[in-house]
Structure 1
Amino acid sequence: MLIQPWDAALDDAEWRQWIADGHDFGILGVNGPPGQGPVAVPTPFCTDAGRLLIHLARPNPVWKAVEQDANVTFTVVGDYAFVPGPWRAGPGTPPTDGVPTSSYAAVQFICRATVIDDPVAKAELLGRQMAHFRPDGDHAPVDPDRPPRTGMLPGIRGLELDVVEVLAKFKYDDHKPVEHRTAVASRLGERGQGLDTPTARQQLRRLDRVGPWKP
Protein backbone atom coordinates (compact mmCIF):
# COMPACT_ATOMS: atom_id res chain seq x y z
CA MET A 1 0.00 0.00 0.00
CA LEU A 2 1.46 3.34 -1.06
CA ILE A 3 1.50 5.83 1.81
CA GLN A 4 2.49 9.39 1.01
CA PRO A 5 4.08 11.32 3.88
CA TRP A 6 0.92 13.43 4.34
CA ASP A 7 -1.28 10.30 4.44
CA ALA A 8 0.70 8.48 7.13
CA ALA A 9 -0.67 7.80 10.59
CA LEU A 10 0.47 10.49 12.98
CA ASP A 11 1.31 7.82 15.58
CA ASP A 12 0.34 4.27 16.53
CA ALA A 13 -2.39 5.58 18.81
CA GLU A 14 -4.22 7.04 15.79
CA TRP A 15 -4.74 3.77 13.94
CA ARG A 16 -5.36 1.85 17.17
CA GLN A 17 -8.13 4.26 18.13
CA TRP A 18 -9.60 4.11 14.62
CA ILE A 19 -9.81 0.32 14.84
CA ALA A 20 -11.28 0.51 18.35
CA ASP A 21 -13.95 2.95 17.15
CA GLY A 22 -15.89 0.12 15.53
CA HIS A 23 -13.80 -0.76 12.50
CA ASP A 24 -13.84 -4.50 13.13
CA PHE A 25 -14.61 -5.95 9.71
CA GLY A 26 -12.03 -6.52 6.99
CA ILE A 27 -10.60 -8.70 4.24
CA LEU A 28 -8.25 -11.60 4.93
CA GLY A 29 -5.84 -12.07 2.01
CA VAL A 30 -3.85 -15.28 1.59
CA ASN A 31 -1.57 -16.43 -1.22
CA GLY A 32 -3.40 -18.90 -3.45
CA PRO A 33 -1.96 -22.04 -5.06
CA PRO A 34 0.53 -21.51 -7.93
CA GLY A 35 -1.25 -20.25 -11.01
CA GLN A 36 -4.25 -18.98 -9.08
CA GLY A 37 -5.09 -15.62 -7.57
CA PRO A 38 -5.00 -14.81 -3.86
CA VAL A 39 -7.81 -16.04 -1.63
CA ALA A 40 -9.73 -13.08 -0.15
CA VAL A 41 -12.26 -13.57 2.65
CA PRO A 42 -14.46 -10.82 4.18
CA THR A 43 -14.87 -11.39 7.91
CA PRO A 44 -15.34 -9.71 11.29
CA PHE A 45 -12.42 -9.79 13.72
CA CYS A 46 -11.34 -8.58 17.11
CA THR A 47 -7.95 -7.68 18.52
CA ASP A 48 -6.25 -9.37 21.45
CA ALA A 49 -2.76 -8.52 22.73
CA GLY A 50 -1.08 -7.98 19.37
CA ARG A 51 -3.18 -10.53 17.53
CA LEU A 52 -6.28 -10.57 15.40
CA LEU A 53 -8.84 -13.27 16.18
CA ILE A 54 -11.05 -14.77 13.46
CA HIS A 55 -13.20 -17.84 13.00
CA LEU A 56 -14.50 -19.19 9.70
CA ALA A 57 -16.59 -22.12 8.51
CA ARG A 58 -14.65 -25.35 8.02
CA PRO A 59 -15.59 -25.60 4.29
CA ASN A 60 -14.03 -22.19 3.59
CA PRO A 61 -11.41 -22.46 0.81
CA VAL A 62 -9.01 -20.25 2.76
CA TRP A 63 -7.79 -23.12 4.96
CA LYS A 64 -5.82 -24.87 2.24
CA ALA A 65 -4.19 -21.58 1.30
CA VAL A 66 -3.25 -20.78 4.92
CA GLU A 67 -1.77 -24.24 5.39
CA GLN A 68 0.39 -23.69 2.32
CA ASP A 69 1.49 -20.18 3.33
CA ALA A 70 0.84 -18.80 6.81
CA ASN A 71 1.98 -15.28 5.83
CA VAL A 72 -1.23 -13.30 5.38
CA THR A 73 -2.50 -9.74 5.08
CA PHE A 74 -5.62 -8.42 6.77
CA THR A 75 -7.02 -5.14 5.44
CA VAL A 76 -9.56 -2.83 7.05
CA VAL A 77 -10.97 0.11 5.04
CA GLY A 78 -13.50 2.70 6.13
CA ASP A 79 -14.61 6.34 6.32
CA TYR A 80 -14.31 6.67 2.54
CA ALA A 81 -15.95 9.01 0.05
CA PHE A 82 -15.48 10.18 -3.54
CA VAL A 83 -14.37 13.82 -3.81
CA PRO A 84 -15.34 15.38 -7.19
CA GLY A 85 -12.76 17.26 -9.22
CA PRO A 86 -14.48 20.67 -8.95
CA TRP A 87 -14.17 20.48 -5.16
CA ARG A 88 -10.38 20.17 -5.50
CA ALA A 89 -9.70 22.79 -8.17
CA GLY A 90 -7.10 25.26 -6.96
CA PRO A 91 -7.36 29.06 -7.18
CA GLY A 92 -7.45 30.20 -10.80
CA THR A 93 -8.17 26.67 -12.06
CA PRO A 94 -11.45 26.04 -13.90
CA PRO A 95 -13.61 23.77 -11.74
CA THR A 96 -13.89 21.24 -14.57
CA ASP A 97 -10.08 20.89 -14.55
CA GLY A 98 -9.98 19.83 -10.91
CA VAL A 99 -8.65 16.34 -10.25
CA PRO A 100 -11.03 14.03 -8.34
CA THR A 101 -9.90 11.66 -5.62
CA SER A 102 -11.21 9.33 -2.96
CA SER A 103 -10.63 9.99 0.72
CA TYR A 104 -10.39 7.01 3.05
CA ALA A 105 -8.71 5.37 6.01
CA ALA A 106 -7.04 1.97 5.66
CA VAL A 107 -5.08 -0.24 8.02
CA GLN A 108 -3.21 -3.31 6.77
CA PHE A 109 -1.94 -5.92 9.19
CA ILE A 110 0.88 -8.15 7.97
CA CYS A 111 0.51 -11.32 9.99
CA ARG A 112 1.57 -14.88 10.63
CA ALA A 113 -1.46 -17.16 10.88
CA THR A 114 -2.01 -20.06 13.26
CA VAL A 115 -4.97 -22.40 12.71
CA ILE A 116 -6.94 -23.29 15.86
CA ASP A 117 -8.68 -26.69 15.80
CA ASP A 118 -8.63 -27.78 19.45
CA PRO A 119 -12.21 -27.47 20.83
CA VAL A 120 -11.13 -25.81 24.07
CA ALA A 121 -8.89 -23.33 22.25
CA LYS A 122 -11.67 -22.57 19.75
CA ALA A 123 -14.08 -21.95 22.61
CA GLU A 124 -11.61 -19.55 24.21
CA LEU A 125 -11.19 -17.70 20.91
CA LEU A 126 -14.97 -17.45 20.49
CA GLY A 127 -15.27 -16.23 24.05
CA ARG A 128 -12.91 -13.35 23.33
CA GLN A 129 -14.84 -12.51 20.18
CA MET A 130 -18.13 -12.62 22.08
CA ALA A 131 -16.69 -10.26 24.70
CA HIS A 132 -15.95 -7.81 21.89
CA PHE A 133 -19.10 -8.09 19.81
CA ARG A 134 -21.60 -8.88 22.57
CA PRO A 135 -20.20 -7.27 25.71
CA ASP A 136 -23.61 -7.38 27.42
CA GLY A 137 -23.25 -11.15 27.66
CA ASP A 138 -26.60 -11.89 26.01
CA HIS A 139 -25.48 -15.28 24.71
CA ALA A 140 -25.13 -18.87 25.82
CA PRO A 141 -21.80 -19.76 27.49
CA VAL A 142 -19.03 -20.62 25.05
CA ASP A 143 -18.37 -24.08 26.48
CA PRO A 144 -17.23 -26.94 24.22
CA ASP A 145 -18.89 -29.46 26.54
CA ARG A 146 -22.32 -27.80 26.73
CA PRO A 147 -24.99 -27.23 24.09
CA PRO A 148 -25.45 -25.40 21.83
CA ARG A 149 -21.71 -24.99 21.24
CA THR A 150 -20.90 -28.71 21.48
CA GLY A 151 -22.50 -29.47 18.13
CA MET A 152 -21.43 -26.22 16.48
CA LEU A 153 -17.71 -26.02 17.23
CA PRO A 154 -16.71 -28.83 14.81
CA GLY A 155 -18.15 -26.74 11.96
CA ILE A 156 -15.64 -23.91 12.40
CA ARG A 157 -11.92 -23.37 12.69
CA GLY A 158 -10.20 -20.49 14.41
CA LEU A 159 -7.38 -18.25 13.23
CA GLU A 160 -4.94 -16.34 15.37
CA LEU A 161 -3.08 -13.73 13.33
CA ASP A 162 0.11 -12.59 15.03
CA VAL A 163 0.75 -9.06 13.80
CA VAL A 164 4.22 -8.59 12.35
CA GLU A 165 3.80 -5.14 10.78
CA VAL A 166 1.09 -2.48 10.53
CA LEU A 167 0.61 -0.10 7.58
CA ALA A 168 -1.84 2.71 8.32
CA LYS A 169 -3.08 5.32 5.84
CA PHE A 170 -5.38 8.30 6.39
CA LYS A 171 -5.88 9.85 2.96
CA TYR A 172 -7.65 13.15 3.58
CA ASP A 173 -5.67 15.69 1.51
CA ASP A 174 -3.59 16.82 4.47
CA HIS A 175 -1.06 18.39 2.07
CA LYS A 176 -3.74 20.79 0.79
CA PRO A 177 -4.38 24.22 2.37
CA VAL A 178 -6.47 24.40 5.52
CA GLU A 179 -9.20 26.29 3.66
CA HIS A 180 -9.44 23.55 1.05
CA ARG A 181 -9.80 20.75 3.60
CA THR A 182 -12.38 22.70 5.57
CA ALA A 183 -14.42 23.37 2.42
CA VAL A 184 -14.31 19.71 1.30
CA ALA A 185 -15.44 18.53 4.74
CA SER A 186 -18.31 21.01 4.62
CA ARG A 187 -19.37 19.82 1.17
CA LEU A 188 -19.24 16.20 2.27
CA GLY A 189 -21.53 17.08 5.17
CA GLU A 190 -23.94 18.82 2.82
CA ARG A 191 -23.98 15.94 0.33
CA GLY A 192 -24.54 13.39 3.10
CA GLN A 193 -24.36 10.25 0.96
CA GLY A 194 -22.92 6.89 1.99
CA LEU A 195 -20.00 7.49 4.36
CA ASP A 196 -19.71 11.22 3.63
CA THR A 197 -20.36 12.22 7.25
CA PRO A 198 -17.72 9.99 8.90
CA THR A 199 -15.29 10.91 6.10
CA ALA A 200 -15.80 14.60 6.86
CA ARG A 201 -15.33 13.86 10.54
CA GLN A 202 -11.98 12.16 9.85
CA GLN A 203 -10.87 15.03 7.62
CA LEU A 204 -11.62 17.59 10.31
CA ARG A 205 -10.01 15.44 13.02
CA ARG A 206 -6.81 15.24 11.00
CA LEU A 207 -7.01 18.96 10.23
CA ASP A 208 -7.15 19.73 13.95
CA ARG A 209 -4.01 17.67 14.56
CA VAL A 210 -1.99 18.48 11.43
CA GLY A 211 -2.95 22.10 10.72
CA PRO A 212 -1.06 23.49 7.74
CA TRP A 213 1.01 20.73 6.16
CA LYS A 214 4.75 21.00 6.85
CA PRO A 215 6.91 18.61 4.74
Structure 2
Amino acid sequence: MPPTDGVPTSYYAAVQFTCRATIVDDPEDKAELLRQQMAHFQPEGDHAPIEVDQPPYGRMLSGIRGLRLGVIEVRAKFKYDDHKPVERRTEIARRLTERGQSLDRPTADQQLRRLDRIGAWKS
Protein backbone atom coordinates (compact mmCIF):
# COMPACT_ATOMS: atom_id res chain seq x y z
CA MET A 1 0.00 0.00 0.00
CA PRO A 2 1.44 3.41 -0.93
CA PRO A 3 2.19 5.67 2.05
CA THR A 4 0.14 8.41 0.41
CA ASP A 5 -3.05 6.37 0.94
CA GLY A 6 -3.20 8.01 4.36
CA VAL A 7 -3.85 5.06 6.64
CA PRO A 8 -4.65 6.54 10.10
CA THR A 9 -2.05 5.98 12.78
CA SER A 10 -1.14 7.25 16.21
CA TYR A 11 2.30 7.95 17.58
CA TYR A 12 2.71 7.31 21.27
CA ALA A 13 4.84 6.28 24.20
CA ALA A 14 3.20 4.13 26.87
CA VAL A 15 4.78 3.09 30.15
CA GLN A 16 3.40 0.70 32.75
CA PHE A 17 4.92 0.31 36.21
CA THR A 18 4.49 -2.56 38.62
CA CYS A 19 5.09 -1.21 42.12
CA ARG A 20 5.12 -2.32 45.74
CA ALA A 21 3.15 0.17 47.82
CA THR A 22 4.08 1.06 51.39
CA ILE A 23 1.49 2.92 53.45
CA VAL A 24 2.75 6.06 55.17
CA ASP A 25 0.82 6.83 58.38
CA ASP A 26 3.45 8.48 60.60
CA PRO A 27 2.54 12.19 60.91
CA GLU A 28 6.09 13.47 60.32
CA ASP A 29 6.53 11.16 57.31
CA LYS A 30 3.21 12.39 55.88
CA ALA A 31 4.29 15.99 56.48
CA GLU A 32 7.51 15.30 54.56
CA LEU A 33 5.56 13.80 51.66
CA LEU A 34 3.33 16.88 51.64
CA ARG A 35 6.41 19.16 51.69
CA GLN A 36 7.84 17.35 48.67
CA GLN A 37 4.53 17.56 46.84
CA MET A 38 4.17 21.27 47.57
CA ALA A 39 7.78 21.88 46.46
CA HIS A 40 6.91 20.25 43.15
CA PHE A 41 3.53 21.89 42.54
CA GLN A 42 4.22 25.26 44.21
CA PRO A 43 7.99 25.75 43.89
CA GLU A 44 7.62 29.46 44.65
CA GLY A 45 6.61 28.41 48.17
CA ASP A 46 3.28 30.20 48.25
CA HIS A 47 1.94 28.20 51.24
CA ALA A 48 2.20 27.98 55.02
CA PRO A 49 4.97 25.89 56.63
CA ILE A 50 4.04 22.22 56.85
CA GLU A 51 4.58 21.19 60.47
CA VAL A 52 2.95 18.30 62.34
CA ASP A 53 1.85 20.37 65.33
CA GLN A 54 1.11 23.71 63.60
CA PRO A 55 -1.90 25.01 61.67
CA PRO A 56 -3.08 24.83 59.02
CA TYR A 57 -1.62 21.49 57.87
CA GLY A 58 -0.96 19.83 61.23
CA ARG A 59 -4.63 19.15 61.94
CA MET A 60 -5.16 17.87 58.36
CA LEU A 61 -2.46 15.21 58.48
CA SER A 62 -4.69 12.71 60.28
CA GLY A 63 -6.97 12.70 57.21
CA ILE A 64 -4.12 11.98 54.79
CA ARG A 65 -2.81 8.54 53.92
CA GLY A 66 0.45 8.51 52.03
CA LEU A 67 1.89 5.86 49.74
CA ARG A 68 5.47 5.24 48.74
CA LEU A 69 5.76 3.25 45.53
CA GLY A 70 8.81 1.07 44.97
CA VAL A 71 9.14 0.26 41.27
CA ILE A 72 9.54 -3.48 40.65
CA GLU A 73 9.08 -3.66 36.88
CA VAL A 74 8.76 -1.24 33.98
CA ARG A 75 7.22 -2.07 30.61
CA ALA A 76 7.28 0.46 27.82
CA LYS A 77 6.13 0.67 24.23
CA PHE A 78 6.95 3.36 21.72
CA LYS A 79 5.29 3.68 18.32
CA TYR A 80 6.78 6.22 15.93
CA ASP A 81 6.82 4.26 12.63
CA ASP A 82 10.52 3.48 12.96
CA HIS A 83 10.12 0.82 10.26
CA LYS A 84 9.21 3.41 7.61
CA PRO A 85 11.88 4.96 5.39
CA VAL A 86 13.72 8.02 6.73
CA GLU A 87 12.26 10.20 3.97
CA ARG A 88 8.70 9.22 4.87
CA ARG A 89 9.21 9.85 8.61
CA THR A 90 10.77 13.23 7.84
CA GLU A 91 7.78 14.12 5.65
CA ILE A 92 5.35 13.06 8.39
CA ALA A 93 7.17 15.27 10.93
CA ARG A 94 7.08 18.20 8.50
CA ARG A 95 3.35 17.78 7.93
CA LEU A 96 2.64 17.49 11.66
CA THR A 97 4.58 20.71 12.27
CA GLU A 98 2.71 22.42 9.44
CA ARG A 99 -0.69 21.31 10.75
CA GLY A 100 0.19 22.49 14.26
CA GLN A 101 -2.78 21.07 16.18
CA SER A 102 -2.72 19.97 19.82
CA LEU A 103 0.22 17.57 20.20
CA ASP A 104 1.41 17.76 16.58
CA ARG A 105 4.56 19.79 17.31
CA PRO A 106 5.81 17.67 20.26
CA THR A 107 5.07 14.51 18.24
CA ALA A 108 7.01 15.86 15.25
CA ASP A 109 9.91 16.79 17.56
CA GLN A 110 9.91 13.28 19.02
CA GLN A 111 9.74 11.75 15.54
CA LEU A 112 12.79 13.79 14.45
CA ARG A 113 14.68 13.03 17.67
CA ARG A 114 14.12 9.32 17.12
CA LEU A 115 15.07 9.70 13.46
CA ASP A 116 18.45 11.13 14.50
CA ARG A 117 19.03 8.24 16.93
CA ILE A 118 17.58 5.33 14.99
CA GLY A 119 18.11 6.31 11.37
CA ALA A 120 17.04 3.80 8.73
CA TRP A 121 15.30 0.63 9.89
CA LYS A 122 17.43 -2.49 9.59
CA SER A 123 15.62 -5.83 9.41
User: TM-score interval w.r.t. the shorter chain?
Assistant: 0.7 to 0.9
The match for 2:86 is 178
More deviation, 134-143/175-184: 134-143
Q: Report the TM-score, using the length of structure 1 for normalisation.
A: 0.52
Q: Which structure has the highest strand share of the two?
A: 1
User: Are residue 104 (structure 1) and residue 12 (structure 2) matched?
Assistant: yes
Name the SS of the counterpart of 1:102 in structure 2.
coil
Alignment of 1:153-164 (within 5 A): 153-164=61-72
2:13·2:79 contact (CA, 8 Å) conserved in 1? yes
> Which whole-Å deviations, capped at 9, do the CAs of 1:23-66 have from their partners, x for residues lacking one?
xxxxxxxxxxxxxxxxxxxxxxxxxxxxxxxxxxxxxxxxxxxx
**Is the alpha carbon distance of 1:151 and 1:89 closer, same or farther for their aligned partners in structure 2, counting shifts above 3 Å?**
farther
The match for 2:36 is 128
Q: CA deviation at 1:213?
A: 1.6
Structure 2: runs of 5+ lacking an equivalent: none
1:89·1:99 contact (CA, 8 Å) conserved in 2? no
The match for 2:95 is 187
2 CA distance for matches of 1:133 and 1:205? Answer: 29
1 CA distance for matches of 2:25 and 2:82? Answer: 45
Where relative contact order (Cα < 8 A, 6+ residues apart) is larger, the structure is 2
1 CA distance for matches of 2:64 and 2:107? Answer: 35
RMSD value over aligned CA atoms?
A: 1.9
User: Considering only CA atoms, is the larger Rg found in Structure 1 or Structure 2?
Assistant: 2
2:15·2:75 contact (CA, 8 Å) conserved in 1? yes
**Is the alpha carbon distance of 1:132 and 1:89 closer, same or farther for their aligned partners in structure 2, counting shifts above 3 Å?**
farther
Q: CA deviation at 1:89?
A: 4.0
Q: Which structure has the highest helix share of the two?
A: 2
Moved over 4 A (4+): none
User: Are residue 204 (structure 1) and residue 117 (structure 2) matched?
Assistant: no
2 CA distance for matches of 1:188 and 1:153? Answer: 47
Paired residue type of 2:72: V
Q: CA deviation at 1:186?
A: 1.2
Paired residue type of 2:95: R
1:104·1:171 contact (CA, 8 Å) conserved in 2? yes
1 CA distance for matches of 2:13 and 2:23? Answer: 29
2 CA distance for matches of 1:140 and 1:171? Answer: 44
2:18·2:72 contact (CA, 8 Å) conserved in 1? yes
